[in-house]
Structure 1
Amino acid sequence: MAWASTVPAPMVSVSYLRSPQAIRTQAQYLLELGLADRLHHFQVDLMRLDAVADYVIEIMQRNYPNGNIPFHSRWRHFPADRVAPILQNLDVWERAKARFDLVIPSVLLDAGAGSAWRYRDAAGRVWQRSEGLAVASLDLFCQGKFAQVGDLATDAIGLAQLTLNDLAIGLQVSPTNPIVGLEGRWQILQKLGQILARSPQFFGSDRPRLGNLVDYFQHQSVDQSLSAVTILQTLLESLSDLWPERCVLAGQNLGDVWNYVPMDSPLDSSLDDRTASTSTSTSTSVLVPLHKLSQWLTYSLLEPLMEAGVTITDLDQLTGLAEYRNGGLCLDLGLLRLKHAQDTQTAHSVASALVVEWRGLTIALVDRIADRIRQKLQKTAVELPLVKILQGGTWSAGRTIAQTLRPDGSPPILIESDGTVF
């Protein structure tokens, strides 16, 4: 068979590795390795594709019987009655800025919380997982914890003043209510404040603020149209220093990009010509860009911009999200099978070959699932874009099957998270 191309050597650049094209290319590469049974940890069974698509359609139609599926974004996790009232007195552009100020730190806090953590709001409602983190971040925002002057904003000084103890109290963390990666989440918010202070081209100079990204995107738009790819690449450029330096190229932190050594490398005589080599990779490793949180954030910025009158183009160039709900769906329903049963018994590093394979395969298989769903429903990609299939959809189906198979709804594989990937 013809191997899917790894990142071609002439194209190994920071800008390429920050593109949806690179994410898809490398995900497809891992899928083709899987179909040839040349992965370390997984086998792929595309005979299960129809069954998975049918299951996702069942969940979509249950959740959205009228077919009106919203975008997959952080906004789905906020209580519907909470956000609009606090922003109702702002004009259209200030409302967009405030929504950026709210949703960006909320997304950055949205790494997996773990199965033990809960959050109780002022009304006594108990939340957990992504929804719990959303409500907690909304409360922190409304309390002015992200702003210097305590208003509805997120600025450099406000984030600098936020202590680890402030965040722990805000998230209601205690010995009996532990959360995964608390310090990692706080460090991200600290780094975010530092980035705001030194990046006036994106966040303004008088009062460096996340909401000022709205002005930047407005200037980038042409006739009030803006590519979703531009949004993603802007976030990857402007926020690159948020992430631990796991992989660096040309002095640039690549973030959610991972070295992967294929089985029996070199795969063929042309491997060296097709291998992305960096200061942190080996001569036989390839780079796998995933950019989960950055794409999740991109999806979450679309609605504030659209509500301000900006038309978003190139939406389907973005990919599925390499996270444990979409990946769990593939594993729990048999599209993927672990080669070694004992791999479910221990937690795995996000840099491990197992997790890199799982996440990359997830992106490629979500594309396959989406195509099959559209075929079955006789919909085009314009009528049913990937961002709606994720919401309707694969993420919801992944959570549902996890709760069916495991009492705590945990993913089928345990991951050692530092709060900066998922």
Structure 2
Amino acid sequence: MGLFSKSSSNRTSSKPSISERSASLASSNSSLQSPTLGFGKRSSQPTSSAPFSPTTTAPSHRPQIPMPKAPDPLVDPAAYLRSIGSVRARCSVLLEKAVDNKLNHFDVDMSKFDDTVAFVVSIIKRDFAPDYATIPPHGRWQHFNVGGKDRVTHLLQSWPSSVDTSERTRRLLDLFLVSVLLDAGAGTAWSYKSKENGKIYRTAWSYKSKENGKIYRRSEGLAVASLEMFKAGMFSSDPDQPFRVDSDGLKGLTVESMGKGLQVTAQNPIAGLDGRANLLIRLSKALENRQYFGDDSRPGNIIDYLISHPTTHISSVPIVPLPTLWHVLMEGLGPIWPASRTVVDGVSLGDAWPLSSMPRESNSAEWETIVPFHKLTQWLCYSLMQPMSVLMHIHFAGAELMTGLPEYRNGGLFIDTGVLTLKPEQMERGLAKFASEAERNNKKCMEVVPMFEASDDVVVEWRAVTVGFLDMLLVKVNTELGLSGEEALTLPQMLEAGSWKGGREIAEVTRPNTKEPPIMIISDGTVF
């Protein structure tokens, strides 16, 4: 059976170790650090910052694992639009139109694309040259380590050696999944004061730590908040086992308790509090699916499901096809998404939206106007793969099927560098929406940007072209860095070190008072 043995499908709250050998890799004295692997490639040399990365132990030639084909859209359009393969395929249609400057809502200046490349390359060189292999993949793990403190390693080291590797992995999966679901745009006024050190983590894009004057931002504030709520046992139904998330624990959540955990007050509001709380409450129901989440209804039990799945190849390391993980997240978490989302053939598609600029013949089916993104599910995939790869050496075949994340930092990069410009009529409409929202909320605004609902045609077009532009950006960035073959950056590495960080930094310069993206999206806490 190789390194890992198949686990029993009849899982209980007292988990057997998936691998006795792997348990020795994560003792309480482990020096495990943040992951530096890039999904889909192998580091040529081990690094001290990730001693247990699968990139340091995997064989040089892994068996080729065939990827399942995406469902046929003519037979089952809903299944197709929910598949990971549909995201890049559908967005590529908009990329072709963008390159020809034929978008409905944006003017496109491809002569500015080289400026975008140069900006992203400068950031990557500034932070990582010449050690590009040390760039971690985009994922939630990095957000927990805001301020230079490796909170994930400290968490692992706080557990006794009797907690084996498989249970450590389950616990991190529990934490990461809840944290990702909370990781939507929080608005410009919210901040979180850490109970650990008294530091303030703001989503207003700038906060000054009382301890050291460092500045921390949105996603990191939500990461620290979710970690401290996790450590306090807020998501667990077992007082003796606080370091877990389970269905019964989530059922006890309310909007009020979530607000308290996130330190929300009238002076410290957060966007989409109701949406976040209700998302976790709906998660409690989804976790009752024992096929994926076991008898004790924990997110972390997906590791048992994946290891025992017939598509998993067991050799010197377990090789899990990315579509298998995708299926677990799409099917297992399907009940958590709001019922108001786009529906095809009675099936809710999640983060997929109709778009007027999609080509459509007179006899086209309705599904042909829909563009899928599945941003939160992709963010979950990127984030959950890391603890499984780092702690248990699992390799995910087909990770390249995932796309760049279509959210406002990556998308804002292309607006702030001049590639995309909102057309005048849409700019006028967006500014009017911003003004009405500001008046409704009695807010005085120092900087004004257009604002739209997440379902608005402008936002859907912006997100679709962002996916295609990120693929183009990766190729050009690697060329400028002189990286090719196994040395080339993967898309998750470029997102982490370049486009997402670049989108944030250029927003800070362009709109120094609010540091908001160039287009604001009204959030319910379940899309972005």
State TM-score, norm by structure 2: 0.73
Q: Mark the runs of 5 or more structure 1 residues left unpaired by the alignment.
A: 1-6, 279-284
Aligned to 1:301: 384
For residues 269 and 281 of structure 2, the distance between their equivalents in structure 1, rounded to whole angstroms, comes to: 21
* 1:259-298 matches, cutoff 5 A: 259-262=354-357, 266=360, 271-272=361-362, 275-278=364-367, 286-298=369-381
Helix, strand or coil for the counterpart of 1:312? strand
Question: Is 1:72 paired with 2:141?
Answer: no
Partner of 2:334: 240
By how many angstroms is 1:323 displaced?
0.2
Q: 2:455 corresponds to which letter in structure 1?
A: A
The aligned counterpart of 2:479 is 375
1:293 offset after TM fit, Å? 0.6
Rounded to whole Å, the distance in 1 between the matches of 2:234 and 2:485 is: 41
The CA deviation string for residues 363-415 of structure 1, in whole angstroms up to 9 with x for no partner, is 01011111111122232364311010000110000000000111221010111
Q: Deviations over 1:118-157 (max 9, x none)?
A: 1110211111210000000001000000010131000000
* Equivalences for residues 191-210 of structure 1 within 5 A: 191-197=282-288, 199-205=289-295, 207-210=296-299
The aligned residue for residue 358 of structure 1 is 462
The answer for unaligned runs of 5 or more in structure 2 is 1-70, 203-217, 435-450
* Residues 229, 318 of structure 1: 8 Å contact kept: no
Taking the aligned partners of 1:298 and 1:106, their CA distance within structure 2 comes to 13
Native 8 Å contact 1:344 1:412 kept in 2: no
Q: Which has the larger radius of gyration?
A: 2
Matched AA of 2:383 = S
Q: Is the 8 A contact 2:78 2:349 kept in 1?
A: yes
Q: 1:344 to 1:277 in 2, by over 3 A?
A: closer
Give the drift of 1:84. Answer: 1.9
Contact 1:35–1:43, Cα closer than 8 Å, also in 2: no
The ranges of structure 1 where at least 4 consecutive aligned residues each deviate by more than 6 angstroms after the TM superposition are none
Contact 2:430 2:452 in 1 (8 A): no
Asked whether the 8 Å contact 2:191–2:200 carries over to 1, the reply is yes
| One of 406, 413, 417 as aligned partner of 2:511 | 406
Q: 1:43 to 1:230 in 2, by over 3 A?
A: farther
Q: Is the 8 A contact 1:236 1:294 kept in 2?
A: yes
Counterpart in the other structure of 1:392? 497
Cα separation, 1, equivalents of 2:293 and 2:264? 31
Counterpart of 2:325 in structure 1 is 231
Q: Find the counterpart in structure 1 of residue 13 from structure 2.
A: none
Partner residue in 2 for 1:281: none
Aligned residue number for residue 220 of structure 2: 131
> Does residue 119 of the first structure (1) align with residue 203 of the second (2)?
no
- Deviation of the 1:160 alpha carbon: 0.1
| Contact 2:72/2:80, CA 8 A, preserved across alignment | no
Matches within 5 A, 1:45-84: 45-65=109-129, 66-67=131-132, 68-79=134-145, 80-84=149-153
Question: Match of 2:354, SS?
Answer: strand
| Among candidates 90, 99, 103, match of residue 26 of structure 1 | 90
**Cα gap change, 1:410/1:159 in structure 2, threshold over 3 Å: closer, same or farther?**
same
Deviations 1:310-343 (A, max 9, x none): 1122122110001000000011001111112425
User: Is the contact between residue 14 and residue 254 of structure 1 (CA under 8 Å) also seen in structure 2?
Assistant: yes
Q: Name the structure 1 match of 2:64.
A: none
Counterpart check, 1:97 vs 2:170:
yes
Q: More helix per residue: 1 or 2?
A: 1
One-letter code of the match for 1:43?
A: D
- In structure 2, the residue matched to 1:282 is none
- CA RMSD for the aligned pairs? 1.8
Matched, 1:87 2:156: yes
Q: How many residues align?
A: 402
In 2, Cα distance between the equivalents of 1:337 and 1:35? Answer: 13
2:396 counterpart letter in structure 1: I
Identical pairs, percent? 40
Corresponding residue for residue 331 of structure 1: 415
1:256 and 2:329 correspond:
no
Q: Give the direction of change, closer, same or farther, for the CA distance of 1:354–1:250 in structure 2 (3 Å limit).
A: same
